[in-house]
Structure 1
Amino acid sequence: MIATPAPQITDAVRRNMALLIQLRWLAVGGQLLTILVVHGPMDIELPLAPLLAAISLLVFINLATLYILRRHTAGLEYALFTALMFDIAALTWQLHFTGGLANPFAALFLLQVVIGAMVLRPAASWAMVAASLGALAVLAIDPVPLALPPELQDEEFSLYLQGSFVCFGLIAVLLVAFVTRIARNLRERDAALAAIRQRAAEEDHIVRMGLLASGAAHELGTPLATLSVLVNDFRAMPELNAVTDLSADLDDMENAVQRCKTIVSGILMSAGEARGEATERTTMRAFLRDIVDEWRVTRGLDTLEYHDRFGQDVAIVSDPALRQVIGNVIDNAVEVSPQWVGIRAAREGEALQLTVTDRGPGFTQDILDGLGKPYRSTKGKPGGGLGLFLLVNVMRKLGGEVRAGNREQGGAEVTIWLPLDAIAYPAGERT
């Protein structure tokens, strides 16, 4: 009757069960208050024993549901369906001893059916309809009539109308409150499902990009090795060694080849195919300083302003993917603001806060709204817009966060928040 729920809807079922528990406590309180009023000021004799037994059953159902909700994660839809069926049974029992179908509160079965239709699967919802119709048929068979005092017997129809009015108001209020909460739960569930689908699509995109990068890096390995051999052969030729300018050019060529090999190694390592180089143990301060020095020295950038406010250093594992995405952020900043780029490393509790700022045109609102989505770029290049996409996804894998915005004085600002435990070596070690 009820299919096993998918993991992504379990949280919505739990919220619905918690809401039903609250409504059931309200029902218990309302029934006790009704018994006190009817049995007291109105002086109508009620069979207290069966009515209180039904209320005790509702209390037991609530306590059992609370236990299931706190201790179990599987079978919650079965528990929800069972609790609603017990609600129908308890209402049938109470109405049987208070006039049956002549009781205006018999309309409360409609509330049970609507709630079942909102929180259960179609098969279980139709089972609720069948149970409610069966309960109404049972109530038509020899119910216990209410014994009205003589002074109220002439007002029986008026009392029925008053009870119907109260019942309608109760159903209307509870349905609005319940439907509003259920609709919010459904919207949250749909948003969670959309986020899961988006993340799956992004991860698939990253895998394909990794395969492409890995294949390109492997293909580049052979010509780079050939160039390295040719440069060494040129160095071994005496007639070339005699030319001073050519010797300097050969040095530049060798440095460029080694630089390309380093880039290829970094790509392969990021794709999980390291070229024999073991992961390095370093410190956070040294890791960041190496990135900054690479841009200042290797790439000839002398307009980079670096402020180290990290505080006590931490031993970490040098993550090539992290190094690459930080480099992408700096590269984007340099491209739009070659005259100045600022980097600030600070410590926020047990996390690194790395901020990269520039004096360029800043981000458009479309980029900020779609932060982390691929192919969103202001440069107009085919295939562009992957830098922030990769940064957001690498940070998400490491448990971090990326924030982007525009500065009041002009330019863009990208802040990376990364928990130190994600790259600590070993966890908690300080140097």
Structure 2
Amino acid sequence: MANRPSSTTHPIETHRDWVRLRTLIFLRWTAIAGQLAAIFVAWWRFDIALDLPLCLLTVGAAIAANLVAIFLFPESRRLSQAEAMGMLLFDTAQLALLLSLTGGLNNPFALLILAPVTIAATALQTRPTLLLGLATILMISAAAVLHQPLVTRAGVVISVPGVVEFGYWIAIVIGVVFLGAYTHRVASEIHSMGDALLATQMALAREQKLTDLGGVVAAAAHELGTPLATIKLVSAELADELDDRPELRDDAILIREQADRCRDILRSMGRAGKDDLHLRAAPLLAVLREAAEPHLDRGKTIHFDLAPGPGGSVRQPTVYRYPELIHAIRNLVQNAVDFARSTVWIDAEWTEGTVTLRVSDDGPGYPASVLGRIGDPFLSPRREADRARRPEYEGMGLGLFIAKTLLERTGARLRFANGKDPFLDDSERPARCGAIVEVRWPADRLIAPDAGALGENVPISA
């Protein structure tokens, strides 16, 4: 399979319309101010005989474009990919034309042609960035060949040696390619990480809401038990006393039946535990089963094996029921069930200083090409074989990223591995030949203090 590390079916939507018009307008005003300053300093301070009307007309085109953008659109407008590329392409063409009027590559400000393509690499997707980069190379090449020489009023031609000019052109072309590729790669990783962290926060918030809801339901089931019992008792007594009035007796029986129904509903909703202490901590096996519960009936056998490690207590530890812990382990189990052939093993071991969890399966394991990058969001797409076997699975690595991030918040360290040597034959592979995820916590971060018996439920005071 091409990309096992994920349990999320749909990746976060990529950034498309997030470049603000105001930002590009501000950058263009900055460029206009710099261009005007360079033109007038060269004209007055260094006595360079520029074609001033054409230079000012070129700068005026940028001013007009900014004014049109300001008056036609609100500055808070977010540009589409095509609109942003159009603005940056205009800026590149305007600067290339200005360079042609002011010496081409003999102008030291020719390096600024890199600015629009760098902005595009940061803000745009791959295709518009490539188009703008290619256009930049073509325009700077044209400006290197077709340009007005820099001449002072005294007739002195200002130029650099041809080999230096050629080297300057090569440097700009390499700069377009390198800066574009480097900036685009870094920006893409930042966007992917931001999207993945947002998904992590949403998953954690959802799990926290479910946990809070469980506490409310458990408290409601506990508190409503007494009034429902009273209603049932009184309605039963009324039914006995109304034997001679059948219509009223039927109403009393209906009240008793509905009270029983309310009791049953609350009992089923609060089955996670009637004492809210259970919502904060539970035996390790109970937490693991709760996390794996949605995947117990998916056609794969899940084995739970818990045992003390060297120096560990024989008694199973009670661990905190962190919402992020439940959600993260559920992601790991889902990932294992998704790719297992028939069996998933959930093993836990505890000592005085650590708690270790291993989730393994008998599937094909992690691809060797991504084994070192597991836990990063948005890995490469899947192979066609896996797409045919699991068409609904996107394989972008977001599920394991969420699990890894949430588990690290609880103090855990994760290790990903495969259970078999890739050079072994199928007949030689062990039972647990698939992917292995090992999670290790310091005992004091996961094991809850032993408070003894929970005792009687205590009514919630107003």
The TM-score with structure 1 as length reference comes to: 0.41
Q: Which has the higher contact order (CA 8 A, sep 6+)?
A: 2
